[in-house]
């Protein structure tokens, strides 16, 4: 029997271009995201809804003030997925309002 340490911690550095900060993970039940930087950071799922024409979902970059993006003000966080919502297994992209060295912390939770 193997044991997963939960939560797993992930650190990212976000700048003015959309980057992947968290890969998709079908074993994940939730992720907590905390903006430790001095500027607003926007996060969004790395892929959009799946359709018959796009079974994996269309790539979905993060955009400052973009539709589908969640704005995280400085020193704030958000929980996606469990315990109050279905599991969040999608990857995440992020972009910062300005600068190139903005820290973002993520905690990935498993069953």
Task: Say if CB 111 and CB 26 are below 8 A apart.
Answer: no
Residue 36 has pLDDT above 70, yes or no: yes
- Domain spans, the chain: 8-110
Mean pLDDT of the chain: 90
Give the pLDDT of residue 56.
66
> 77 versus 55: which is more confidently predicted?
77
pLDDT band at 111 (very low <50, low <70, confident <90, very high): confident
Give the pLDDT of residue 54.
66
The CATH number given to 8-110 is: 2.60.120.770
Task: Say if CB 61 and CB 21 are below 8 A apart.
Answer: no
Number of H helices, E strands in the chain: 0, 8
Q: Give the tens place of pLDDT for each residue, 60-103.
A: 889 999 888 999 999 999 999 988 899 999 999 999 999 999 99
Give the pLDDT of residue 8.
93
CA distance 69 to 49: 14
């Amino acid at each position: 029997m193997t044991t997963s340490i939960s939560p797993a911690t992930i650190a990212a550095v976000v700048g003015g271009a959309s980057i992947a900060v968290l890969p998709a993970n079908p074993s994940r039940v939730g992720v907590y995201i905390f903006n430790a930087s001095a500027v607003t950071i926007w996060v969004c799922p790395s892929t959009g809804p799946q359709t018959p024409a796009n079974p994996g979902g269309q790539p979905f970059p993060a955009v400052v003030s973009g539709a589908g993006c969640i704005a995280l003000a400085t020193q704030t966080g958000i929980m996606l997925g469990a315990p109050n919502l279905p599991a969040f297994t999608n990857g995440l992209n992020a972009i910062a309002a300005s600068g190139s060295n903005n820290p973002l912390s993520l905690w990935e939770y498993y069953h």
